């Protein structure tokens, strides 16, 4: 009741408060009067004093409400995640104080912008970081406010930006292929089908075929688009909707493709690590991260089969691996974790790979294909040289039971000035799981989509 009577007014005799963001660097001498807004991420009450830590996305600020201010109704009932405006003197504090940027805002005025509930409904009751994973996903719209969760997503945008920067340096042209398509790329079993004005259509599994249409005009191209897969299993690295970074290179050899991939990934990592805020987040999330050594280890599929058998790692039927087996996720990850560095796994058998892959001229049983495997995650990239011969492609459709008619535009690329070309797709969420040491790709996107989850 007493507190309700205390009314704080913005004192017009004080100097005008300069609006700043929480992480903005400004001169503290002479002491400036500033205005900040943010949400309460932490607070500590002492007699006649209220310490409030604010968050605004750019950073954090320690604020002190003292005396009458601390005894107002709104200060006494302040709740976590309320949004608040504060004006006051920004002062340096000794670096042994726990205050971001070694400074503290001594408030002379504040107002609540949006009050968050307390008690039963307090955010700490809704979102328990060590609680059940499904509940946490249901509450992800609030869980995103957690620093560890949001820092992964901050790194994500830095990585996306770094890819765009690196591609720009490499003179790749960005194109934007459609998401609604009538052709499959990676097999019928993971197609999301829907009715498109009474015609059958799909959500795209990969933009690859469309990137191939663009190389005759632009040379090397790339896109950063969503891909969709109706994956019917729950694993820690499969999503139904993911961000696919895909590149396609014209007039190259298979070896050129591998060299490009190393250059691209190391280039992106250098850009990201040169950015202090991103680098410090990565350091926190993955303290042991080191830049991969070039060249990456190259390993043929047939050697991997031998390696797995030598290490007694069985296939899905609990049998020794044989040539022709699809190396399952578990076996692949075991191998990658033991080798513990990036691997280019190459030359997969024709039968287990997509229809469009170029055969190895030295050994037609296998394709000029590559998976890039990373410790902790396994495959993060799939790529290959593309079949560039018209007749061979027609045979490949037949062999894979794919009607050639809907692919007329793809086939035409082999008729109108074909070329040796190749490309790849990198799963952004998997790249981040590796870089930020996350157990699952569900934690590397804003709102994960996978079998059984399409909310929030």
Instruction: List contacts with ligand 4AD (CB under 6 A).
Output: 185-186, 206, 208, 229, 231, 238-239, 242, 244, 246, 379-383, 423-427, 429-430, 441
| Residue 245: strand, helix, or coil | strand
CB of 285 to ligand 4AD, least distance (A): 19
CB of 386 to ligand 4AD, least distance (A): 8
Q: Which is nearer to ligand 4AD, 43 or 411 (CB)?
A: 411
Q: Classify burial at 59, counting beta carbons within 10 Å of its beta carbon; exposed 0-12, middle 13-18, buried 19 or more.
A: middle
CB of 207 to ligand 4AD, least distance (A): 7
Q: Which is nearer to ligand 4AD, 57 or 187 (CB)?
A: 187
What is the distance between the terminal CA atoms of the chain, rounded to a whole angstrom?
40
229 contacts 235 by C-beta, under 8 angstroms: no
Which positions ≥6 away from 114 have C-beta within 8 Å? 82, 83
Q: What's the token pair of residue 131? A: 């609680």
| DSSP result, 65-103 | EEGGGGGSHHHHT--TT-EEEEEEEEEE--TTS--GGGE
Q: Which is nearer to ligand 4AD, 17 or 221 (CB)?
A: 221
Helices 276-285/254-273 angle, 10° precision: 100
CB of 171 to ligand 4AD, least distance (A): 19
- Count of beta carbons in the 10 Å neighbourhood of residue 6: 16
Q: Are strands 33-46 and 18-19 parallel, antiparallel or unpaired?
A: parallel
CB of 212 to ligand 4AD, least distance (A): 9
CB of 440 to ligand 4AD, least distance (A): 10
CB of 362 to ligand 4AD, least distance (A): 22
The residue ranges of DSSP E strands in 93-209, in sequence order, are 103-114, 173-174, 180-181, 192-196, 199-203
Give the neighbor-by-neighbor strand order of the sheet with 192-196: 180-181, 199-203, 192-196
Q: Which is nearer to ligand 4AD, 3 or 164 (CB)?
A: 164
CB of 354 to ligand 4AD, least distance (A): 7
Q: Which is nearer to ligand 4AD, 105 or 181 (CB)?
A: 181
Q: Quick one: three-class SS letters along 329-366?
A: HHHHHHHHHHHCCCEEEECCEHHHCCCCECEECCEEEE
CB of 337 to ligand 4AD, least distance (A): 17
Task: For CA atoms 335, 339, 343, 347, give the dihedral sign.
Answer: negative
Q: Which helix (H) or strand (E) holds 154?
A: helix 147-169
CB of 74 to ligand 4AD, least distance (A): 46
| Residue 109: strand, helix, or coil | strand
Q: What's the token pair of residue 39? A: 């949400």
Q: What are phi and psi of 112, to 5 degrees?
A: -80, 130
CB of 422 to ligand 4AD, least distance (A): 8
Q: Which is nearer to ligand 4AD, 109 or 210 (CB)?
A: 210
CB of 425 to ligand 4AD, least distance (A): 3
Q: What are phi and psi of 15, to 5 degrees?
A: -60, 150
Spatial CA neighbour of 184 closest among 354, 430, 348: 354
- Count of beta carbons in the 10 Å neighbourhood of residue 435: 26
Q: Which is nearer to ligand 4AD, 39 or 353 (CB)?
A: 353
Helices 147-169/428-435 angle, 10° precision: 120
Q: Which is nearer to ligand 4AD, 72 or 206 (CB)?
A: 206
């Amino acid at each position: 009741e007493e507190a309700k009577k205390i009314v704080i007014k913005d004192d017009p005799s004080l100097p005008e408060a300069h609006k700043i963001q929480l992480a903005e660097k400004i001169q503290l001498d002479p002491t400036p009067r500033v205005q900040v807004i943010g949400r309460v991420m932490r607070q500590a009450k002492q007699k006649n004093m209220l310490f409030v830590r604010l968050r605004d996305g750019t950073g954090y600020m320690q604020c002190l409400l003292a005396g009458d201010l601390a005894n107002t109704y709104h200060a006494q009932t302040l709740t976590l995640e309320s949004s608040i405006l504060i004006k006051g003197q920004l002062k340096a504090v000794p670096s042994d104080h726990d205050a971001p940027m070694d400074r503290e805002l001594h408030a002379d005025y504040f107002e609540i912008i949006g009050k968050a509930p307390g008690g039963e409904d307090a955010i700490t009751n809704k979102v328990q970081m060590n609680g059940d994973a499904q509940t946490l996903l249901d509450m992800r719209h609030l869980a995103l406010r957690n620093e560890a969760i949001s820092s992964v997503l901050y790194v994500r945008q830095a990585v996306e930006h770094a890819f765009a920067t690196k591609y720009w340096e490499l003179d790749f042209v960005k194109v934007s292929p459609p998401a609604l398509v009538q052709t499959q790329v990676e097999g019928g079993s993971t197609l999301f089908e829907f009715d498109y004005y009474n015609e059958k259509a799909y959500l795209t599994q990969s933009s690859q075929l469309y990137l191939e249409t663009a190389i005759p005009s632009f040379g090397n191209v790339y896109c950063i688009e969503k891909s969709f897969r109706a994956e019917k299993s729950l694993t820690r690295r499969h999503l139904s909707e993911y961000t696919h970074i895909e590149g396609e290179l014209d007039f190259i050899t298979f070896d050129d493709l591998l060299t490009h991939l190393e250059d691209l990934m190391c280039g992106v990592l250098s850009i990201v690590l040169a950015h202090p805020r991103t680098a410090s987040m990565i350091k926190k999330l993955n303290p042991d991260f080191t830049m991969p050594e070039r060249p990456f280890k190259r390993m043929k599929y047939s050697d991997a089969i031998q390696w797995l058998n030598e290490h007694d790692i069985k296939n899905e039927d609990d049998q020794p691996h044989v040539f022709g087996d699809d190396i399952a996720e578990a076996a692949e990850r075991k191998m990658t974790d033991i080798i513990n560095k990036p691997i280019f796994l190459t030359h997969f058998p024709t039968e287990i790979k997509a229809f469009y892959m170029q055969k190895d001229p030295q050994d037609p049983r296998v394709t000029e294909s590559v998976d890039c495997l990373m410790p902790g995650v396994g495959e993060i990239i799939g790529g290959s040289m593309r079949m560039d011969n018209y007749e061979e492609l027609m045979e490949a459709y037949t062999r894979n039971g794919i009607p050639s008619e809907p692919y007329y535009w793809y086939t035409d690329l082999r008729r109108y000035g074909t070329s040796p070309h190749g490309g790849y797709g990198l799963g952004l969420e998997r790249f981040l799981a590796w870089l930020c040491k996350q157990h699952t790709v569900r934690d590397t996107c804003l709102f994960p989509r996978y079998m059984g989850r399409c909310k929030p």
